[in-house]
Amino acid sequence: AHLARIEAVDEKVHAFLHVDREGALAQARAVDAKRERGEKLGPLAGVPLALKDIFTTEGIPTTVGSKILEGWIPPYDATLTKKLKAADVVILGKTNMDEFAMGSSTENSAYGPTGNPWDLTRIPGGSGGGSSAALAAYEAPLAIGTDTGGSIRQPAAVTGTVGVKPTYGAVSRYGMVAFSSSLDQGGPCARTVLDAALLHEAIAGHDELDSTSIDAPVPPVVEAARNGDVKGMRVGVVKEFSGEGYQAGVMQRFNESVELLRELGAEIVEISCPSFDLALSAYYLIAPSECSSNLARFDAMRYGLRVGDDGTRSAEDVTALTREAGFGPEVKRRVMLGTYALSSGYYDAYYGSAQKVRTLITQDFEKAFEQVDVLISPTTPTTAFPIGERADDPMAMYLADLCTIPTNLAGNAAMSLPCGLAPEDGLPVGLQIIAPAMADDRLYKVGAAVE
Ligand code: GLN
């Protein structure tokens, strides 16, 4: 049914870069055969899923939304892919994304944009717009995203779906193409809080192949999602995430959520996190710095595309020509910014300062979580904007992640879930819930209560 749905709508939505029809049917049949033999089934047996094209899949193309990996077939599965298979999930295919997960609209994909199923002329968010659009268009009931600065939560918000960025280190990064290694985190996307929790449980857990993987039990997210309750909880409203630049209808729905939480028995506390105002600047030094280093591996020798290798050129020239042809403008912008920020003589002024700001943000969270159990804010300042509107203005694009970035810098957990439609445009608004590191279950407890 999901393959038929993809066939019917994906020409317009363009959520998928690659639909693995044969593989999906084979997986589904294998689950059926297991069931018939009376074998024990995985926890998500037979449930179809849309996988962001940033996770390696053995034998299936993985492009990261980039021309530089066009035609590359990974020889191995990411740990997350392995875990999905072990859970007996049926992987429908790979979803569209901003190139190397750099963006907030999926317009930076080298393979063309994805439409927002609520209004195909608008963006589905980014970088994981394909995964969220697949959910909103009913092409898949579950999807996987990655969140470096908001790429799970922001697409969830603008498509009216649920997205969770788990605590940093909760989901293995092995086989997840690196953008900014100290920020990148894979996580679940779904249409309900409980569905997200079931997927969360299936993909989280310690992995020896990822040196930053957390070696501790996964928080009881499914139990929390089944027992939504905020009675007696202290919920902090982040003061800095309101005011200028926030759409009226977004604030209206957010304020209604605050009232709902109060009615359900939560104690509402206003919290100030003064360093959050610096988060965007720090992020746009740290993320490009790490990406300039990570993307050095695309040298035309190891993977995918190779341009100008006609026997007359040096290896350096082939590398340069390949990177020139293979990377899009946003990736080039970030590699240049990052290389500059890490240059000798500039390191302390830029990268060093950004790391200090990162510590201040972490301390703001620590202080906040001494007073409250979770923090809340709108996920995004505005609803989905029209395709093309911010394409030539990187700064305007970067603002889409204003509320999501601090969590990545500090490494704690956050969820976005729908909280109604903005009255002025009828488009979905996201409520963000933020929890301390390793307290991911609180997101589900609160999310399930207000869903
Ligand atoms: N939009 C942010 C960026 O462009 C975040 C991307 C992400 O979370 N992958 O870097």
Within 8 A by CB and 6+ apart from 22, the residues are: none
Q: How far apart are the CA of 54 and the centre of ligand 1, in A?
A: 13
pLDDT of amino acid 143: 99
> Is 90 exceeded by the pLDDT of residue 347?
no
pLDDT of amino acid 9: 98
> Is 90 exceeded by the pLDDT of residue 273?
yes
Pocket, ligand 1, Cβ cutoff 6 A: 101-104, 127, 147-151, 179, 287, 401
Q: How far apart are the CA of 397 and the centre of ligand 1, in A?
A: 10
Q: How far apart are the CA of 98 and the centre of ligand 1, in A?
A: 9
Q: How far apart are the CA of 151 and the centre of ligand 1, in A?
A: 5
Pocket perturbation via mutation, ligand 1, pick of 105, 127, 146, 180 by most ligand atoms within 8 A of CB: 127
Which amino acid makes up residue 201? Answer: E
Read off the pLDDT of residues 1-14 as tens digits, 9 standing for 90 and up. 999 999 999 999 99
Segment 41-67 mean pLDDT: 98
Tokens of 114: 């994805």
Cα Rg, the chain, nearest whole Å: 21
* Structural domains present in the chain: 2-226 (3.90.1300.10)
> Is 90 exceeded by the pLDDT of residue 270?
yes
Number of alpha carbons in the 13 Å side-chain half-sphere of residue 195? 19
Q: Which atom of ligand 1 is nearest to the CA of 283?
A: 10
Q: Which of 52-56, 74-78, 344-348, 438-442 has the least mean pLDDT?
A: 344-348
> Is 90 exceeded by the pLDDT of residue 304?
no
Q: Which long-range contacts (CB under 8 A, 24 or more apart) does 353-358 make?
A: 353/282, 353/285, 354/281, 354/282, 354/283, 354/285, 354/286, 354/289, 355/282, 355/286, 357/275, 357/278, 357/279, 357/281, 357/282, 357/409, 358/282, 358/286, 358/409, 358/410
Segment 133-139 mean pLDDT: 98
Residues identified as active-site:
52, 127, 151
Rounded mean pLDDT of the chain? Answer: 97
Pocket perturbation via mutation, ligand 1, pick of 52, 95, 102, 292 by most ligand atoms within 8 A of CB: 102
DSSP letters of 121-140? TB---SSSHHHHHHHHTTS-
Q: Which atom of ligand 1 is nearest to the CA of 284?
A: 10
0.90 exceeded by pTM: yes
